[in-house]
A and B are shown apart, each in its own frame.
Chain A
Amino acid sequence: MAVAVAQRIRLSYSKYWYAYAMIAPVVIVLGVLVGYPLVRGIYLTLTNATSLNVGRQIGVNHIPDSFDFIGLDNYADVLWGPTAYDRFWSHFIWTVAWTAICVVLHYGIGLGLALLLNRKMRGRGLYRLVLILPWAVPTFVTVFSWRLMLADGGAVNGLLSFLHLPEPAWLSDPLAQKAAAILVNTWVGVPFMMISLLGGLQSIPQELYEAAEMDGAGPWQRFRHVTLPGLRTVSSTVVLLGVIWTFNQFAVIFLLFGSGAPDAQILVTWAYRLGFGQQPSDYAQSATYGILLLSILIVFTTFYRRWLARNEKANG
């Protein structure tokens, strides 16, 4: 048995050695950049490491590590320790809501704009350029501009007061903060969806539409039975990417509210605060949040792919 396995390895090696050689650099780089930090992160979650008890090199004096292995206590503390609701669950609920709302808005608005741009019209290139701008501008520029506009005396509230509408405190009231974050993130995220879906739309053969029209399908039916199925592969990919990116959307929240706004922090920004935004830095807790985030995304992705596969079967 063992001999057979060894022989098979040797065989595959002699046959495919060039393939292994080709992927070796990638494997090494990923190992160094992703694998090692991930393993180290998992290890840290099982300890009580903070910035005060990890080893450090001070000139010639070396202070060794003095943190202890505490098993799964960090996970227990984060998930059901005292004030766990305030520290984890409230952020978890908000993160899930934030992801769902943002991705729905990204996809919906992106698809609408893509359908508009897919028509033959004058100045299409110009519109396309203008709509890509929010994505082309560096995120921090976009977010800081929004921060100025959303401030109490800013442009947004100026417009609202002109229309005699109530003026929420976008950057300080907890509910308004969440609305503001979703607004800005939608602004930032729509262009990517739009471009991807536009690419998908342009790959749907025109004959299908013609054939559908011959069979007497109305515009809604054409959209429902030609466009959507034609976009399925693109959609499933961009929605998955959108969910992962939005779930981990650090920049918008961090730049919009800084270290204030405890209620508007999603899990990623909250983990950052534990690890880098306070003294002493709580590396272990921060790493625990990181691993929990990763687990949530892995679970989501697995279910999502299964669901897609089932849909493929049902529709295939």
Chain B
Amino acid sequence: MRRGIAASALVAALAVSMAACSSSGSGSDAKGDGGPVTITYWDTSNATNEAPNYQELVKKFEAANPNVKVNFVNVPFDTAQNKLQTAMGAKGAPDVFRAEVGWTSAFAKAGYLEPLDGTPALADASVFQPSLIKQATYSGKVYGVPLVTDTLALMYNKDLFAKAGITAAPTTWDELKADAAQLKEKAGVDGFWLKAGDGYYAMPFLYGEGTNMVDAAGKKITVNSAEAVKAVDTYKSMFTSPGTAKADVTTDAYAHMMDAFNNGKVAAIIQGPWEVTNIYKGTAFADKKNLGIAAVPNGSTGKGGAPTGGHNVSVYAGSDAAHKAAAEKLAAFLTSAESQTFLALKNGTLPTRTDAYTDEVKANPGIADFQAILTSAQPRPELPEYASLFGSFGTNLGKIVQDQSDTKAGLDATATDYAKLLPDFTK
């Protein structure tokens, strides 16, 4: 145990020293105008298959701008929000970084982000999808340049569906359950695997009942409304009905789900485009055409929807003018049509601007299918606390699918947590 303490202290010390190495922050290496400036860029993309391509873009930027050096740091996505939060409030913050769309309004509210309206970063504002610009807006100012966008879709294995005699993707949750049972019976694999105890992956169920975790406009907590209870009951049945994988709430659940899908052990999952490149590497998808991508099924309202995700490039408000100018240049470069096309072809992510959808990009089957679904993606409300709402929701969903609390009680507990986060909302 002593040993453990020493080891963790060592790890902590290493982490601190690494952070110290990677923090240029707002150094004073700017030599007036035109001198070389070194800016730090925090990349939050997947380190193995996405980051190298971002690094390549940064190299291109350096070649085009000889007086700007970029210190490229890849920060694991799952810890990035806390690392940014800590660094921006103290020392060692990056000058420019890739941030999940859900973080933008919270960071803007805390005063960490530079408004980008009228700066070189947003020179092409008019060609971006308006809903994405709106999503990066807080109190009337834009705080991030949309870099990639995504939404959740139903991804399925066409071979397995054909083997079970299913010709079209299911359009309602009930159909999906019927298909899952048929897949189990005729193709001998689990029909559907849903990531359990994760609020983000439960959103399509809420949208399918025409509700959300909160009603931001009406300042009301709706996570325990009758519609939400109905949605979560449907969600829960996705783990118990025949042919569906049982709820996996372990830390490695995500990896388990993707392994099973990529190797043809499960026929359908709910997933976003960021995994498409990985899926193509799986044994079941050696032929890329085998991957079917359809809109998430509809709920009882006959409508469906999935959250709009993706990432923006934001600039830190605490850097000095020279660093900010260089950071804005990099933000403009990373989100330019050329860069976005490059990322789309390399990473399979969806561009955020219309002029980046070249014929070559549209020829990529994953991107074309997703572009069709994007129309039903639901934008997030402009609510700084919105990203914080997933935590308690996910925790209680985990309890609900494991039968530790009934649906209403679990959602009531979430509503109680929300009331703390959002004191001016009514329950």
Contact = CB atoms under 8 A, between A and B. Distances in A.
A237 interface: no
A172 B89 contact: no
A139 B197 CA distance: 27
A7 interface: no
A278 to B, nearest CB: 5
Contacts of B106: 279-280
Interface stretch (A56-64, A207-215, A296-304): A56-64
Size category, B interface: 35 or more
Nearest to B246: A169
Interface residues of A, number: 46
Interface stretch (A25-33, A119-127, A259-267): A259-267
Contacts of B2: 192
Contacts of B249: 172, 260-261
B399 A135 contact: no
A245 B421 CA distance: 33
A56 B110 contact: yes
A140 B15 CA distance: 15
Given A56-B110, A59-B317, A61-B317, A278 B391 contact: yes
B213 to A, nearest CB: 15
B85 A279 contact: yes
A151 B256 CA distance: 10
Contacts of A249: 1
A257 interface: yes
A227 interface: no
Nearest to A53: B110
B318 interface: yes
A277 B251 CA distance: 14
Given A59-B317, A63-B111, A151-B252, A82 B85 contact: no
A172 B404 CA distance: 12
A251 interface: yes
Interface in A62-91: 63, 82-83, 86
A189 interface: yes
Contacts of B247: 172
B21 interface: no
B317 A262 contact: no
B7 A260 contact: no
Contacts of B81: 279
A44 B427 CA distance: 29
A260 B387 CA distance: 17
Interface in A241-287: 245, 249-251, 256-263, 276-281
Contact of B320 (A59, A138, A251, A278): A59
Given A57-B90, A58-B112, A189 B1 contact: yes
Interface string B402-417: 1010000000010010
B51 to A, nearest CB: 23
Interface in A126-177: 135-136, 138-140, 147, 151-152, 171-174
A100 to B, nearest CB: 17
A51 B8 contact: no
Nearest to A138: B7
B46 interface: no
B316 interface: yes
Contact of B110 (A52, A57, A189): A52
Interface in B1-54: 1-4, 7-8, 11, 26
A172 B195 CA distance: 13
A197 interface: no
Nearest to A192: B1
Interface string B378-411: 0000000101100100010011001010000000
Contact of B3 (A52, A135, A262, A279): A135
Contact of B88 (A58, A152, A276): A58
Given A57-B90, A59-B317, A139 B7 contact: yes
B26 A172 contact: no
A197 to B, nearest CB: 15
Contact of B109 (A52, A250, A261): A52
A171 B147 CA distance: 37
A279 B2 CA distance: 31
B167 interface: no
Contacts of A181: none
A201 B7 CA distance: 29
B150 interface: no
Contacts of B109: 52
A258 B197 CA distance: 13
Contacts of A151: 250, 252, 256
B212 interface: no
Contacts of A58: 88-89, 111-112, 316-318
B110 A59 contact: no
A188 interface: yes
A62 to B, nearest CB: 10
A138 B416 CA distance: 40
Interface in B211-270: 247-253, 256
B387 A279 contact: yes
Contact of A174 (B4, B391, B402): B402
B82 interface: yes
8 nearest CB pairs, A to B: A59-B318, A258-B251, A139-B4, A56-B89, A171-B250, A58-B318, A138-B7, A172-B249
8 contacts: A54-B89, A59-B317, A60-B318, A139-B4, A171-B250, A257-B251, A278-B388, A280-B421
Given A58-B112, A152-B256, 20 more contacts: A58-B89, A58-B317, A59-B320, A86-B413, A135-B3, A139-B3, A139-B7, A140-B11, A171-B250, A172-B247, A188-B4, A251-B4, A260-B249, A277-B391, A279-B81, A279-B82, A279-B85, A279-B387, A279-B388, A280-B421
